[in-house]
Amino acid sequence: MIQRFLWRGLDTRLRLFIGLVLLVGIVPPLLNLLLPPSSPLYVPAYVLQLVGKYLCYASLALAVDLVWGYCGILSLGHAAFFALGGYCMGMYLMRQIGSRGVYGNPILPDFMVFLNYKELPWFWHGFNHFWFAAPMIVIVPSVLALALGWFAFRSRVTGVYLSIITQAMTFALMLAFFRNDMGLGGNNGMTDFKDILGFPVQADGTRATLYFASALVLALFLVIAGAVVGSRFGKALMAVRDAESRMRFLGYRVEGYKLFVFVLSAAMAGIAGALYVPQVGIINPSEFSPGNSIEAVLWVAVGGRGTLIGPVIGAFLVNFAKTYLTGALPEIWLFALGALFVAVTLFLPRGIVGLWGQYKARQERTKRTATA
Amino acid sequence: MNASAHTARSTSALLYLSGVTVSFDGFRALNNLSLLVEPGEMRAIIGPNGAGKTTMMDVITGKTRPDEGEVVFDGQADLTKLDEAEIATLGIGRKFQKPTVFESHTVRDNLLLALAGPRSWYRLLAATPTKAENDRLDEILTVIRMGAQQHMLAARLSHGQKQWLEIGMLLAQDPKLLLVDEPVAGMTDVETETTAAVLREINKSHSVVVVEHDMSFVRALGVKVTVLHEGSMLAEGSLDQVSADPRVVEVYLGR
């Protein structure tokens, strides 16, 4: 039954796109592992790392799109859920270092020795086991989203006010995580990871696997999001987006719908963050910075909100441009970002994917006038 | 609980309002309003702008809480204690003045969302429309005369078609009481007549309260009329009776 539920939401176009994502997930790692570096088709490790990062961003974008594009909740704090998932993974990776740290303490991570911690803070217990850390990656962001959403949606906080609250949340978390006595590495965050599940993080095979896992997770998220959006629940969700009070008068408990997608979306963002951290090798409080959340919203806007393919395309395009421009012309990147935001708002209200729809509509119109 | 509360709870009235008062910043939108609607009845509410018609609808549907007074539905439910979703579930459906349909859904999906049935998010995640539900949708599409447009996006409908879709959505809810706010505003004469016919047909199986400005439409409905003025009831009776009432004439023409 679950299988039918999952596949029902997927139209042909989305299935093809999921296939493409999986292809992008399988082929490059194989080319990296199987071909010699001299081959013209060889994919170097840094490319895998870069695209692996984009894949995680694409998952985050999809999570943002689920709440913004389909339910009208403009969250300006989704990077917080991403970072929390990342921190859970970071804590696991720190505990895996063991006595190989600079100070050689078998229990305490380096920064704790440095800050004169005598024993492990209570919330670090259990993170040496992957079976504990893995569920935490989902639970921690979900619980935060549940608490925030519970109060906000029940008090009927909507629109700009909700956006401001989510932005304040991520800013508050950033300030908190910057503090050394939070016991989470302060402004340096966590880095120098050695092993994940017993495999060295830097090894080619591990990198390729993490890359593949990121693509697999993105494909899985597309399936889940497609099923949710394509169900009768999804119809109700979009109706909440378009006319919330109308739904209340039809007898729907709007809070339940919002809370479910908000928590689902936070969990997705958390998983994306957890895959991101071992690939970039560091997690620090700047991941919570408000700008990150706003950028994620921009990816969705560029790609096309309210579509499932759009956010993925948007995340890849904007981040590719960012990588290129911050390398080639670092001083203009922020201006380019600003210009992009203005341009998309003015000319592409439905994003790049929306362009296709506009094109088809125009084609149909000319066809109709031609026959008339 | 005073004595009047007890009588309310034992009346056969479908909707019972007694002494309802609502103030916004000192302005009394409703002033000691009382109203009784019998099961199966269709009632027209008229009154000049600012008479409190829309506020009355807000109170009945739980959007606005009264400062004083009782609002009882079906002889037992105290509507002043319930929220919009609970009241809708009890069987009160509302059509708004400005048509609010779900623009990015098709006509059929609009009706499906309104259809009486599961409302909770966890049940809708797995629900597929049943045979009975599809039959009911076809039936409603016939009543509102929109079978041909069922796969059209609601955003592309004309104003009159949106109003009918709204009425259809109200029907789909299968409420005991339909509250209809200015259904013919902005309609052509032909559309107005059709709407009156649709409402009369609906009234065969549902109780209806209609708020309307358009006198020819109210006449076409041919039902008991309540005149509101400055938040309270001014007159009640057939349209001929109330339009002969000198107080009503003064309110409409005097100022």
- What is the distance between the alpha carbons of residues A98 and A171, in angstroms, rounded to a whole number? 32
Å between B136 CA and nearest CA of chain A: 17
Range A102-110 contact pairs with CB under 8 angstroms and sequence separation of 24 or more: A109/A185, A109/A190, A110/A192
Instruction: Report strand pairing: B232-237 vs B224-229.
Output: antiparallel
The helix (H) or strand (E) run that includes residue B18 is: strand B15-24
- What is the distance between the alpha carbons of residues A96 and A198, in angstroms, rounded to a whole number? 8
Residues β-bridged to residue B209: B43, B179
Q: CA B125 → CA A6, A145, A224, A235, distances in Å?
A: 10, 20, 11, 10
Instruction: Report strand pairing: B207-211 vs B177-181.
Output: parallel
pTM: 0.86
Q: What is the dihedral of CA A26, A31, A34, A37, to 10 degrees?
A: -150
Instruction: Give percent helix, percent strand, percent coil of chain B, each to the nearest 5.
Output: 45, 25, 35
Amino acid in position B125: L
Write b or e for each residue in B166-198: b if 16 or more Cβ atoms lie within 10 A of its Cβ, otherwise e: bbbbbbbbbbbbbbbbbbbbebeeebbebbbeb
- What is the distance between the alpha carbons of residues B66 and A316, in angstroms, rounded to a whole number? 54
Other beta carbons within 10 angstroms of residue B3's beta carbon come to 7
The confidence score (pLDDT) of residue B3 equals: 42
Token pair, residue A354, equals: 């929306």
Contact present, A82 and A272 (Cβ < 8 Å) = yes
Whether the predicted pLDDT of A175 surpasses 90: yes
Residues β-bridged to residue B92: B177
The confidence score (pLDDT) of residue B143 equals: 85
Contact B100 A250 (CB under 8 A): no
The confidence score (pLDDT) of residue A6 equals: 67
Contact A239 B102 (CB under 8 A): yes
Higher pLDDT, B9 or B214: B214
- What is the distance between the alpha carbons of residues A111 and A113, in angstroms, rounded to a whole number? 5
- What is the distance between the alpha carbons of residues A330 and A63, in angstroms, rounded to a whole number? 29
Contact present, A208 and A196 (Cβ < 8 Å) = no
Contact B102 A253 (CB under 8 A): no
Q: What is the mean pLDDT of residues B123-144?
A: 88
Q: What is the mean pLDDT of residues B38-46?
A: 92
Whether the predicted pLDDT of A372 surpasses 70: no
Amino acid in position A14: L
Token pair 């807000």 is at which residue? B58
Q: What is the ipTM of this complex?
A: 0.84
In this prediction, residue B14 has a pLDDT band, given cuts at 50, 70 and 90, of very high
Nearest-by-CA chain B residue for A6: B126
Least trusted range by pLDDT, from A359-363, B20-24, B49-53, B193-197: A359-363
- What is the distance between the alpha carbons of residues A142 and A270, in angstroms, rounded to a whole number? 8
The confidence score (pLDDT) of residue A321 equals: 92
| Mean pLDDT, all residues of chain A | 92
Contact present, B46 and B251 (Cβ < 8 Å) = no
Least trusted range by pLDDT, from A81-95, A212-226, A263-277, A357-371: A357-371
Write b or e for each residue in A153-162: b if 16 or more Cβ atoms lie within 10 A of its Cβ, otherwise e: beeebbeeeb
User: Which of A5, A231, A248 is facing B84, going by the closest CB pair?
Assistant: A248
Contact A246 B112 (CB under 8 A): no
Contact B125 A246 (CB under 8 A): no
Å between A263 CA and nearest CA of chain B: 13
User: Which of A231, A245, A251 is facing B124, going by the closest CB pair?
Assistant: A231
In this prediction, residue A4 has a pLDDT band, given cuts at 50, 70 and 90, of low
Å between A162 CA and nearest CA of chain B: 21
Count of A–B CB contacts within 8 Å? Answer: 80
In this prediction, residue B255 has a pLDDT band, given cuts at 50, 70 and 90, of very low
Amino acid in position A247: M
Among B124, B125, B58, which residue's Cα sits nearest to residue B94?
Answer: B58
Handedness of CA B235, B95, A249, B176 (dihedral sign): positive
Whether the predicted pLDDT of A224 surpasses 50: yes
- Write the CB contacts of A245 (distance below 8 Å, at least 6 apart in sequence): B63, B84, B100
Give φ, ψ of A344 to 5 degrees.
-65, -45
The confidence score (pLDDT) of residue A66 equals: 97
- Secondary structure of chain A as H, E, C letters: CHHHHHHHCCCHHHHHHHHHHHHHHHHHHHHHHHCCCCCCCCCCHHHHHHHHHHHHHHHHHHHHHHHHCCCCCCCCCHHHHHHHHHHHHHHHHHHHHHHHCCCCCCCCCHHHHHCCCCCCCHHHCCCCCHHHHHHHHHHHHHHHHHHHHHHHHHCCCCHHHHHHHHHHHHHHHHHHHHCHHHCCCHHHCEECCCEECCEECCCHHHHHHHHHHHHHHHHHHHHHHHHHHHCHHHHHHHHHHHCHHHHHHCCCCHHHHHHHHHHHHHHHHHHHHHHHHHHHCEECHHHHCHHHHHHHHHHHHHHCCCCCHHHHHHHHHHHHHHHHHHHHCHHHHHHHHHHHHHHHHHHCCCHHHHHHHHHHHHHHHHHHHHHC
Å between A237 CA and nearest CA of chain B: 9
- What is the distance between the alpha carbons of residues B171 and B150, in angstroms, rounded to a whole number? 16
Chain A residues lying within 8 Å of B103, measured CB to CB: 242
Contact present, A275 and A218 (Cβ < 8 Å) = no
Residues β-bridged to residue A196: A199
- Render pLDDT for A127-151 as a digit per residue (tens, 0 to 9): 999 999 999 999 999 999 999 999 9
- What is the distance between the alpha carbons of residues B227 and B43, in angstroms, rounded to a whole number? 11
The confidence score (pLDDT) of residue A278 equals: 96
Å between A185 CA and nearest CA of chain B: 40
Chain B residues lying within 8 Å of A239, measured CB to CB: 102, 105, 113
Is A253 in CB contact (< 8 Å) with chain B? yes
In this prediction, residue A58 has a pLDDT band, given cuts at 50, 70 and 90, of very high
User: Which of B63, B102, B114 is facing A242, going by the closest CB pair?
Assistant: B102
Q: Helix, strand, or coil here: B243? A: helix
Contact B121 A231 (CB under 8 A): no
